[in-house]
């Protein structure tokens, strides 16, 4: 009887489970092709199926009518209703729409340390760039920052050399924008700078970029005055396959790339690798040649459902000629002119060449401790080797100015330099009759950086969650100068405290820089090291119900600084500083499609190391009196609306940055601008600076049809200095205080870092299943000439630069070769109408927008 009853129950359960069969095919609405591996789940159950290589699925359902939910990595979930007829329902073709804002499935590892905005219910001002968009727009001769320029309140200054672009957000430069790779901070520990040339290969291994403007979602105590940019790198891919690509571009640029993923095997292991090589005789301006490689290797391991590991090694060794800012007269005469290069028997050589190699390793471990708790940790290390070259001495020679008496100088004449150096013999004596001669030196910046970020998440209840974590970093930087080329001098003297003659030279190339650099006896001009140790703790508490959410974040940190000056045989005392930040916010969902929010934050940020130590005197001298913490207060409010194919966001913000310190170098011509023999370097120390940034942003995205997507934005700001500051100016060589002034009025002077009004429109159209075209136009206005905070407002109001717009176009065509293989052609045209004009300024002069450039690539996926 028991066996009979059990059989009846089993049959009844089977009957309840197998009411009927639902079939269909999952299609990509953007590309027009089938999606393999899409998840199809009977809504409200765990009952599901996966689409095959042709997008087909078959799902046994438990009720005669209901809905199925279709989900796929990087696409918006879609619910489709069904009603069985004769026990079957064919839903036909189901198109799903790409969703750049959905990043949860993009992150394979590091889910607890990669602070994405969607990881928190309370919203922030955020824009997300998908992997597909990155791959379309950032291929080869442009930096990954190119993908960000259609973002509200973002300005990208392309500069002229490979990897030299600058990124501004809400009027703040990238020293005050936190940049993270898979949760790893990459802003320089000494000064907050980001050198994009060190990350030349990141576009090929980026799954997404999320720009969080303002307060953002990051829990780390980092330099996010303007915002936070999260670059999510790929891990060891779970799917087998790879690609090979060749790309060509203007000015003989060429790049080849190959990548392969093994996929995850039955034991839980996966491997991915990528290598490429690129070179060009220039980017756009003269003398901006470049050459480099990229490499990426990742190993993933999932021993069980609770643990996931991923090891990653990547690097981008490169060298490139640089073009520094120019006068307006030179730009008007020839915007491609560059004063730093000339011809040698080996070809083009620039006295201003950047070369660097920065291998980066990290190890991620995700541990699902229970249904309510998880721990995520990343250990990372990087070893930077390289620097930048420049001239030293007073024997530079130039060819004849091609324009006669015009503003242009000729190219550097290396033959004439060598001839003069032969007369000089031993270089370095600036007072000698024949001068000091001319050498090419390298300013070397080597570093070792080790760190850990670990975050514990726990769901207290269904609505209440908290996390707590630690952020630790150890950094050592070595800074010195060495001789790169003597150009026929017998040696270089008078540039060391022991007056030793230096004859050793060292190649300014990235691979040589790993192991070949000057020992202490061959270093010139300066030689010092610095140690920075940092430890921070952070936490967050968030409550979220159906319509209401609120959060509170806090972090504390302690940072120590110490310098050793080997030339002066002096080590500074260890200086320790504490800092903290607090931020919180609330949001309310009016209805499913509408959300309003309000956030606020307070930062007490430690000074950068460059504001702890004086420029003048020994490199181990502390600035006196010491520099206090900077204070940042920020508030923002917003409204998010999203329904079906349309989304819109409005944000307003105020950021008040007080007690800022700026230290920089300048050159005094000593009243003789045409004679550089009596010029001297000045160190300028400015304290008590206050910047006040306020503005509003609006952006929309509309998928008008399955074949047309439109995005647009408009943002405006008012960025000004307020109050008074003090200015001290020193002669670097003599350590003499030249001038000191208190109460310098800066009230109302415009901040000149970036355009204060930006707007743009981007469109992408699928013409056929294989052909798509896209384009964008960006307009910039309200940009002011460089503003020196040391100049009183009564003496100087900066001139506004002319507004301008830049238009780009792109085209893709895909050849489906069958069997999961395809061949894709992609072409990009940047600055299609060849606008050339002033787009940025700094203390030394002007930069122009690069003129028209282009690239084209063929990519084979297998």
Residues 6+ apart with CB under 8 A from 675: none
276 pLDDT band (50/70/90 cuts)? very high
Least confident of 31-40, 330-339, 438-447, 624-633: 31-40
Instruction: Give the pLDDT of residue 631.
Output: 95
Q: Per residue in 661-675, is it b (16+ CB within 10 Å) or e — as a string?
A: bbbbeeeeeeeeeee
Half-sphere exposure of 810 (CA within 13 A, CB side): 23
Has residue 466 got a pLDDT over 80? yes
Q: Per residue in 139-166, is it b (16+ CB within 10 Å) or e — as a string?
A: bbbbbbbbbbbbbbbbbbbbbbbbbbbb
Residue where a domain stops, chosen among 67, 96, 125 = 96
Instruction: Give the pLDDT of residue 567.
Output: 93
| Residue 418, both tokens | 């060598």
DSSP letter assigned to residue 15: H
| pLDDT, average across residues 708-730 | 92
Residue 56 included in any domain: yes
Least confident of 34-48, 123-137, 460-474, 715-729: 34-48
* Region of residue 488 (left: phi > 0; alpha: psi -120 to 50; beta: else): left
Has residue 853 got a pLDDT over 60? yes
Has residue 761 got a pLDDT over 60? yes
Has residue 164 got a pLDDT over 50? yes
Residue 533 included in any domain: yes
Has residue 796 got a pLDDT over 70? no
| pLDDT, average across residues 434-445 | 94
Instruction: Give the pLDDT of residue 2.
Output: 46
**Residue 303 burial by Cβ neighbours in a 10 Å radius (0-12, 13-18, 19+):** exposed
Instruction: Indicate whether 20 and 129 sit together in one domain.
Output: no
Has residue 1 got a pLDDT over 50? no
The residue that leads in pLDDT, 120 or 359, is: 359
Instruction: Indicate whether 150 and 224 sit together in one domain.
Output: yes
| pLDDT, average across residues 411-438 | 93
Instruction: Give the pLDDT of residue 711.
Output: 94
Instruction: Give the pLDDT of residue 322.
Output: 93
What is the domain range of residue 212? Answer: 117-233
Instruction: Indicate whether 500 and 563 sit together in one domain.
Output: yes
| pLDDT, average across residues 316-330 | 88
Residue 112 included in any domain: no
Residues 235-255: pLDDT tens digits? 887 778 899 999 999 999 999
Residue 681 included in any domain: yes
Residue where a domain stops, chosen among 63, 96, 129 = 96
Give the CATH number of the domain where residue 206 resides: 2.170.130.10
| pLDDT, average across residues 263-292 | 93
Has residue 12 got a pLDDT over 60? no
> Position of tokens 């110490």?
562
Residue 659 contacts residue 630 (beta carbons within 8 Å): yes
**Residue 536 burial by Cβ neighbours in a 10 Å radius (0-12, 13-18, 19+):** buried
The residue that leads in pLDDT, 517 or 139, is: 517
Instruction: Indicate whether 89 and 122 sit together in one domain.
Output: no
Residue 75 contacts residue 102 (beta carbons within 8 Å): yes
735 pLDDT band (50/70/90 cuts)? low
Instruction: Indicate whether 301 and 206 sit together in one domain.
Output: no
Has residue 598 got a pLDDT over 80? yes
102 pLDDT band (50/70/90 cuts)? low
Number of domains in the chain: 3
Residues 6+ apart with CB under 8 A from 714: 152, 697, 698, 699, 758, 759
Residue 109 included in any domain: no
Residues 6+ apart with CB under 8 A from 248: 254, 255, 855, 856, 857
Residue 104 included in any domain: no
Give the CATH number of the domain where residue 18 resides: 2.60.40.10
Residue 792 included in any domain: yes
Has residue 795 got a pLDDT over 60? yes
Instruction: Indicate whether 148 and 43 sit together in one domain.
Output: no
Residue 434 included in any domain: yes
Least confident of 45-59, 308-322, 444-458: 45-59
The SS3 call for residue 418 is: helix
Instruction: Indicate whether 754 and 627 sit together in one domain.
Output: yes
Instruction: Indicate whether 151 and 55 sit together in one domain.
Output: no
Instruction: Indicate whether 524 and 672 sit together in one domain.
Output: yes
101 pLDDT band (50/70/90 cuts)? low
Residue 828 and residue 826: Cα distance in Å, rounded?
7
Instruction: Indicate whether 85 and 131 sit together in one domain.
Output: no
pTM (2 d.p.): 0.86
431 pLDDT band (50/70/90 cuts)? confident
Instruction: Indicate whether 634 and 727 sit together in one domain.
Output: yes
Instruction: Give the pLDDT of residue 369.
Output: 95
Residue 509 and residue 387: Cα distance in Å, rounded?
9
408 pLDDT band (50/70/90 cuts)? confident
Has residue 674 got a pLDDT over 90? no
Residues 504-557: pLDDT tens digits? 999 999 999 999 999 999 999 999 999 999 999 999 999 999 899 999 999 999
Residue where a domain stops, chosen among 39, 64, 96 = 96
The residue that leads in pLDDT, 580 or 732, is: 580
Instruction: Indicate whether 521 and 649 sit together in one domain.
Output: yes
The mean pLDDT value of the chain amounts to 87
């Amino acid at each position: 009887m028991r066996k009979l009853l059990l059989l009846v129950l089993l049959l009844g359960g089977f009957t309840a489970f197998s009411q009927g069969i639902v079939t269909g095919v999952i299609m990509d609405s953007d590309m027009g092709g089938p999606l393999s591996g899409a998840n199809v789940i009977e809504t409200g159950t765990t009952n599901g199926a996966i689409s095959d290589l042709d997008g087909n699925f078959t799902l046994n359902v438990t009720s005669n009518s209901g809905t199925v939910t279709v989900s796929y990595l990087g696409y918006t979930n879609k619910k489709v209703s069904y009603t069985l007829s004769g026990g079957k329902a064919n839903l036909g073709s189901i198109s799903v729409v790409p969703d750049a804002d959905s990043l949860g499935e993009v992150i394979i590892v590091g889910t607890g340390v990669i602070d994405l905005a969607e990881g928190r219910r309370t919203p922030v001002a955020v824009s997300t760039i998908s992997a597909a968009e990155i791959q379309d727009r950032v291929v080869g001769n442009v930096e990954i920052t190119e993908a960000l320029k259609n973002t509200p309140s973002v300005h990208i200054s392309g500069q002229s050399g490979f990897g030299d672009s600058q990124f501004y957000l809400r009027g703040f430069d990238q020293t005050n924008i936190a940049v993270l790779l898979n949760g790893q901070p990459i802003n320089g520990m000494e000064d907050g700078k980001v050198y994009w040339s060190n990350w030349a290969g990141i576009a090929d291994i980026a799954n997404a970029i999320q720009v969080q403007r303002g307060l953002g979602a990051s829990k780390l105590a980092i330099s996010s005055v303007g915002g936070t940019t999260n670059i999510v790198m790929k891990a060891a891919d779970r799917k087998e396959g790879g690609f090979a690509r060749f790309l060509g571009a203007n000015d003989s640029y060429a790049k080849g790339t190959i990548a392969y993923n093994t996929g995850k095997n039955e034991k839980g292991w996966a491997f991915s690798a990528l290598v490429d090589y690129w070179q060009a005789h220039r980017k756009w301006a003269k003398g901006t040649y470049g050459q480099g490689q990229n490499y990426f290797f990742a190993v993933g391991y999932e021993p069980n459902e609770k643990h996931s590991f991923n090891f990653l090694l990547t690097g981008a060794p490169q060298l490139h000629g640089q073009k520094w800012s120019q006068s307006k007269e030179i730009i008007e005469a020839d915007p491609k002119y560059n004063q730093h290069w000339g011809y040698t028997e080996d070809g083009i050589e620039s006295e201003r060449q950047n070369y660097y190699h920065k291998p980066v390793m990290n190890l991620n471990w995700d541990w699902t401790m229970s249904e309510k708790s998880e721990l995520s940790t990343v250990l990372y290390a990087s070893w930077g080797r390289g620097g930048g070259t420049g001239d030293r001495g007073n024997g530079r020679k130039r060819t004849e100015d091609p324009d006669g008496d015009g503003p242009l100088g000729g190219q550097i004449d290396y033959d004439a330099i060598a001839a003069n150096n032969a007369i000089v013999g031993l270089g370095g004596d600036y007072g000698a009759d024949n001068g000091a001669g001319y050498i090419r030196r390298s300013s070397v910046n080597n570093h070792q950086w080790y760190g850990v970020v670990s975050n514990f998440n726990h769901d207290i209840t269904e609505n209440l969650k908290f996390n707590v974590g630690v952020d630790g970093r150890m950094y050592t930087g070595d800074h010195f100068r060495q001789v790169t080329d003597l150009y026929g001098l017998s040696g270089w003297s008078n540039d060391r405290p022991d007056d030793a003659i230096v004859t050793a030279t060292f190649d300014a190339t990235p691979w040589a820089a790993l192991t070949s650099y000057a020992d202490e006896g061959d270093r010139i001009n300066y030689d010092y090291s610095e140690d920075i140790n940092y430890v921070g703790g952070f936490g967050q508490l968030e409550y979220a119900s159906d319509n209401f959410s609120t959060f509170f974040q806090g972090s504390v940190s302690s940072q120590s600084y110490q310098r050793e000056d080997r030339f002066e045989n002096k080590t500074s005392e260890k200086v320790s500083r504490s800092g903290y930040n607090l931020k919180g916010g609330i949001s309310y969902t009016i209805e499913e499609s509408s959300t309003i929010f309000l956030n606020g934050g307070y930062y007490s940020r430690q000074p950068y190391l460059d504001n702890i130590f004086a420029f003048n005197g020994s490199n181990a001298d502390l600035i006196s009196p010491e520099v206090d913490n900077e204070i940042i207060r920020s508030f923002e409010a917003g409204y998010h609306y999203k329904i079906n194919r349309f989304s819109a966001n409005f944000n307003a913000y105020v950021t008040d940055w007080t007690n800022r310190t700026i230290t920089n170098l300048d050159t005094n011509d000593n009243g003789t601008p045409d004679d550089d023999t009596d010029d001297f370097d000045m160190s300028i120390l400015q304290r008590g600076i206050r910047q006040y940034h306020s503005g509003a942003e609006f952006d929309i995205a509309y998928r008008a049809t399955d074949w047309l997507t439109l995005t647009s934005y408009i943002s405006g700001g008012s960025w000004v200095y307020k109050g008074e500051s003090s200015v001290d100016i020193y002669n670097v060589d003599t350590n003499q205080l030249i001038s000191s002034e208190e109460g310098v009025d800066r009230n109302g002077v415009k901040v000149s870092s970036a355009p204060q009004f930006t707007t743009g429109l981007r469109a992408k159209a699928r013409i056929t299943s294989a052909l798509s075209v896209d384009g964008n136009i960006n307009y910039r206005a309200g940009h002011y000439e460089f503003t020196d905070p040391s100049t009183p407002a009564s003496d100087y109001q900066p001139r506004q630069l002319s507004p301008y717009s830049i238009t780009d176009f792109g085209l893709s065509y895909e050849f489906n070769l069958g069997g999961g293989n395809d061949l894709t052609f992609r072409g990009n045209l940047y600055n299609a109408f060849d606008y050339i004009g002033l787009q940025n300024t700094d203390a030394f002069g002007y930069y122009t927008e690069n003129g028209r450039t282009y690239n084209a690539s063929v990519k084979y996926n297998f």
